[in-house]
């Protein structure tokens, strides 16, 4: 497989929009732009990385996690593009959820001191996520949610 090939996702819908990125001989990351789930070589039972992820993930993310034939655990992706927008799952249960997408808005210069960047003394965010722009998308419309959040704007501008 070439580095930039799209391959079939092992999710239940068998999306053909999964992207695999090699990050060295022992590390691969996979994200499916169809279902929106992702995994990597360290997302397996017994791996410290997986345990650390499980400690900080919201319960719905844990409830939606699934395992493929190779033992990789797959979790919903969260996309945070500070100047464009954000995509995350939103719902109440494994039967009632979808992708939420919001747009980022610029913070006026006079208000930025209210938005400090943690760990960076004297630095402030220039954009914030505007929850009033939130739109919901079906659980298999991750790529549409990404588009709404502005994930492809930079690609189009170039």
Burial bucket for residue 41 (CB in 10 Å: 0-12, 13-18, 19+): middle
The candidate with the shortest Cα–Cα distance to 77, out of 97, 61, 58, 95, is 61
Q: What does pLDDT average to over the chain?
A: 89
pLDDT score of 114 more than 80? yes
**pLDDT top residue among 140 and 158:** 140
DSSP code at position 122: T
DSSP string over 35-47: T-EEEETT-BTT-
Please indicate, yes or no, whether the overall pTM of this predicted structure exceeds 0.75: yes
pLDDT score of 50 more than 60? yes
Question: Percent of the chain beyond pLDDT 90?
Answer: 70
Digit-coded pLDDT (tens) for 121-135 = 999 999 999 999 999
Cα 154 from Cα 144, distance rounded (Å) = 16
Domain boundaries, the chain: 6-76, 79-157
Q: Which structure tokens are listed for 72?
A: 């990789």
């Amino acid at each position: 497989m070439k580095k930039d090939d799209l391959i079939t996702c092992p999710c239940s819908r068998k999306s053909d929009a999964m992207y695999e990125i090699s990050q060295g001989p022992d590390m691969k990351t996979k994200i499916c732009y169809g279902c929106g789930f992702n995994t990597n070589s360290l997302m397996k039972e017994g791996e410290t990385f997986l345990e650390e992820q499980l400690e900080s993930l919201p319960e719905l993310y844990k409830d939606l996690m699934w395992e493929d034939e190779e033992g990789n655990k797959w979790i919903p992706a969260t996309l945070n593009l500070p100047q464009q927008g954000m995509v995350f799952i939103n719902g109440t249960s494994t039967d009632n959820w979808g992708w939420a997408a919001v747009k980022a808005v610029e913070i006026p210069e006079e208000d930025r001191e209210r938005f400090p960047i943690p760990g960076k003394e004297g630095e402030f965010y220039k954009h914030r996520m505007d929850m009033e722009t939130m739109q919901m998308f079906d659980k298999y419309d991750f790529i549409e949610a990404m588009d709404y959040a502005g994930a492809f704007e930079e690609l189009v501008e170039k």
